[in-house]
Amino acid sequence: MREIGVRAALRATRAKTFAPAIRRGMMLAGPGVAIGLSGAVAASQALVTLLFGVSGLDRSRISA
């Protein structure tokens, strides 16, 4: 990113140099994780109707 180069050239501290990039990354990753987890829970609930004898959040089946 060009902004990191400019901050480094102006001798900004390491925290001030990388904080905006990390913040932007977290702003993208946070909603993505939330959407992914809710989609996984919804899919597991939908699959419960197809599988006999398995609960929706059966940890032993999910980890396999």
pTM of the model: 0.59
CB 12: neighbour CB atoms within 10 A? 14
H or E stretch covering 28:
helix 14-48
What whole-number distance in Å separates Cα of residue 62 and Cα of residue 44? 9
Read off the pLDDT band of 17 (50, 70, 90). Answer: confident
Tokens encoding 38: 């809710």
Three-state helix/strand/coil letters over 29-50: HHHHHHHHHHHHHHHHHHHHCC
Q: What is the pLDDT of residues 23-40, one digit of tens each?
A: 999 999 999 999 999 998
